[in-house]
């Protein structure tokens, strides 16, 4: 018994081990929720409006916004029927309005094959419309249009381009 006690006392040390500390600049930089490889469905009265898929989602409840990164994809639906897909590398959802901002390599493809390319795009939930103040490039079966400033329905069927240049086939 004496030998066991001697071994225990020599094996145990009174030195405490403390894990390394990580400096955090501000608690504001810590999200209240975080998820990876997530799918979120937006609906109204049981009718799907949009489905968001993202690599990483961080919710900042204190500031009423959600950040999306690791590539984002939003499938839009009108009256429950698929209308278009929006993709980009990063984005932001404004929690109060449910408006969505997507930026960095933004591409939107409608169900009829029309393609919109820009660096920043806003989807306004209240009007169900998309818009951008940046350079945009739209290609359809008959048109190849470029310009600065843009507004459209989420199916890319009815759009306005400000400061336009390009070609339209008749």
Task: Write the pLDDT tens digit of every residue in 25-47.
Answer: 566 678 999 999 999 898 888 88
Which regions in the chain score pLDDT beneath 50? 4-9, 11
Token pair of 43 as six digits:
């609906």
SS3 56: strand
Residue ranges and CATH numbers for the domains of the chain are 30-168 (2.60.450.10)
User: CA-to-CA distance for 122 and 21, rounded, in angstroms?
Assistant: 40
Could you count the other beta carbons within 10 Å of the beta carbon of residue 55?
16
Is the entire prediction scored with pTM above 0.85? no
* pLDDT given for residue 4 in this prediction: 44
In Å, how far are 55, 88, 162 from 99, measured between CA atoms? 19, 15, 22
């Amino acid at each position: 018994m004496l030998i066991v006690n001697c071994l225990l006392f020599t094996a145990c040390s009174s030195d405490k081990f403390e894990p390394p500390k990580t400096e955090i600049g501000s608690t504001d930089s810590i999200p209240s929720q975080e998820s990876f490889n997530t799918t979120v469905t937006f609906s109204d009265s049981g009718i799907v409006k949009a489905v968001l898929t993202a690599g990483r989602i961080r919710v900042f409840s204190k500031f009423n916004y959600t950040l999306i990164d690791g590539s984002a994809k939003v499938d839009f639906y009108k009256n429950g029927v698929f209308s278009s897909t929006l993709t980009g590398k990063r984005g932001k959802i404004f929690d109060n309005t449910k408006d969505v901002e997507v930026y960095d390599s933004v591409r939107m493809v409608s169900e009829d094959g029309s393609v919109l390319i820009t660096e920043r795009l806003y989807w306004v939930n209240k009007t169900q419309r998309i818009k951008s103040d940046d350079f945009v490039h739209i290609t359809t079966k008959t048109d190849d249009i470029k310009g600065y400033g843009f507004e459209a329905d989420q199916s890319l069927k009815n759009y306005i381009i400000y400061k336009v240049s390009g070609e339209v086939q008749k």
